Structure 1
């Protein structure tokens, strides 16, 4: 670890260890703490700052509020040869996915396509880490998760939807996977929170205040206001799809049904998640592999020097991360506190 003016350089492994201690001291099992730490540190290393160590406060306050069971053991059911169902038991979605991953991959390879449905889970992380490992194994993955009521769909008068992110990952022969992950709102809620913490104003078109008037003040959006979908009706329609697919197929809550009022400090949406997995080897022999490589070549010939996921892929394995001294001190204080 090295310290510079206002920042600290810490190895990725040291950061994972620090985060794991924090999560264990706040009620997580050792296995859960390790999964969350790897997810959080990986997001920070990849430049997903709104879903990296910034999220630790939300994890800790949610665990301390009793809103989440940090030691929950997911239950896996087989609904059909191509349908894997997981009850997260009020635990973290990443833990449920980790528990079901092997059987899910098996079902994808056996059937060509399979669905993983996770219910009763909490997801406060970036979505790209959930789908990227499948692409690394030569599979295509699409994931969706709903959130809490913080977005107003076009034509509505109150927040009904969450940020409702959508993620996609596909293998590219000889290249980094093509991966994207985006909220269906004009900005991710975490980025709005970061702007509020740093005292920044937002670009126009991100959200409205409590009176429904457009605002560039992140605090007004977060306190009684709401986000708006990207692209008007188009983003609104995609968000509606995510909401229906996730709540409908998992039997979980709609975003507007999330009620944490009895748990002051809770910040993690208690909803669900779905992942659709596809084995491209079921296409024409060599078809997807050849076409994906040709596709990237076409993009480069057109002047695109990068594609979704490439920048993140290149920087995530640098071995260390730089975080603010204030954040590092906050993390070490959490890790030193008496175990709850």
Structure 2
């Protein structure tokens, strides 16, 4: 149904649109299932830059030949508390789905475990991964490099990816506490949405190709983004490069961009996910101490401050009830992919 601002869809319709479009551009069914799920999660939770818009990104990567459309992830056990999934050049979502049960089992057996996804293509947020881990009662931390789009603090030439970090904490009486943020000043998808809309961005989001600050979204996409928080964001971006790159034998952001060779595909590389079982430290007392942790959240909420992920959960409740509205131009672009 068409509304004034766009096209209203139920979440089932969003998923059908995502799955059908991904199949039309050649993605194998198992991959299309997993990728569609993450797009629906983004749209459901009000994260437009990581929702159905990502169909354009995924389709472009497939057509550029930077994604193995029928890759079969291979799970291995390099050490008792470690899991590795070689994604074979496919999208990261299916590799994560294959590795998650092993990660959960090892975290429960050893108290802490890590999952390395290697040779996977990224284009989505990390919060679906940490939320899936937290759903098993585990604490989760995830990170991944991307393409070299972001300049270090004090520089104007790209070195880092947007290099997001995500964290999940299970809560006894509700959805988990989750945050997921890029170490860049803003997610690249946000800048792309401004470019599509022809609207300016804040002048501290990035530089043009000559190294000058700009409010032109297209100029930043052709130049360099900035890290958030100056040298602090720059240091965190470096950490992500190392932990989810060389530590697990995968690419840095600069190497990912070089491997792309100008084709315009999504980043290729690794992702590191760490899961911690509270019972590993606390045994039978874990539930008591998780209850104690609720005082931290209460202390934040009582003074009117917003908990990260609260806005997503509120959007989730609305979209489950009312569906979502897709901008008409974006909906038309998606239908053209199918055509």
Name the TM tier (shorter chain). over 0.9
How many equivalent pairs are there? Answer: 332
Corresponding position of 2:250? 252
Partner of 1:102: 101
Is 1:163–1:188's contact at 8 Å kept on the other side of the alignment? Answer: yes
Query: Do 2:88 and 2:120's aligned partners in 1 also have CA atoms closer than 8 Å?
Result: yes
The equivalent position to 1:325 in structure 2, one of 315, 328, 331, is 328
- Superposed displacement of residue 324, structure 1: 1.7
Matches within 5 A, 1:1-340: 2-156=1-155, 158-223=157-222, 225-258=223-256, 259=258, 262=261, 264=263, 266-284=264-282, 285=285, 286-304=287-305, 306-317=306-317, 318-319=319-320, 320-335=323-338, 337=339
- What is the alpha-carbon distance in structure 2 between the residues aligned to residue 58 and residue 29 of structure 1? 17
**SS state of the match for residue 137, structure 2?**
coil
Distance 1:161 1:89 in 2: 23
1:5 Cα shift?
2.1
Task: Quote the Cα distance in structure 2 between the aligned partners of 1:162 and 1:327.
Answer: 25
Structure 2: distance between partners of 1:291 and 1:73: 43
Q: Answer whether contact 1:67 1:260 (CA < 8 A) is retained.
A: no
Mapped contact 1:8–1:324 kept (Cα < 8 A) = yes
Distance 1:40 1:149 in 2: 24
Any unmatched runs of 5+ in structure 1? none
Secondary structure of the equivalent of 2:116?
strand
Measure the CA separation in 1 of the matches of 2:335 and 2:203.
37
Deviations 1:90-112 (CA, angstroms, capped at 9, x unpaired): 01111100011111110111111
- Partners of 1:301 and 1:53 lie apart in 2 by 35
Q: Distance in 1 between the 2:161 and 2:278 partners?
A: 31
TM-score normalised by length of structure 1: 0.93
Q: Following the alignment from structure 1 to structure 2, what is the Cα–Cα distance between the partners of residues 94 and 74?
A: 10
Q: CA deviation at 1:220?
A: 1.0
Deviations 1:298-334 (A, max 9, x none): 2233333x31112212322433211122222332333
Q: What is the CA–CA distance in structure 2 between the aligned matches of 1:300 and 1:22, rounded to whole Å?
A: 41
Q: Output the aligned Cα RMSD.
A: 1.5
In 2, Cα distance between the equivalents of 1:299 and 1:262? 46
Moved >6 Å (runs of 4+): none
Give me the whole-angstrom Cα distance separating, in 1, the residues matched to 2:324 and 2:221.
Answer: 29
Offset at residue 157 of structure 1 (A): 5.4
Aligned CA distance change for structure 1 residues 124 and 261 (closer, same or farther; 3 Å)? closer
**Higher mean displacement: 278-287 or 102-111:** 278-287
For the residues of structure 2 that align with 1:196 and 1:326, how far apart are their CA atoms? 13
Contact 1:281 1:288 (C-alpha < 8 Å) held by counterparts: no
Partner of 1:181, secondary structure, is: strand
SS of residue matched to 1:316: helix
Q: Aligned equivalents of 1:200 and 1:293: distance in 2? A: 41
Distance 1:289 1:30 in 2: 39
In 2, the alpha carbon distance for the partners of 1:307 and 1:262 equals 40
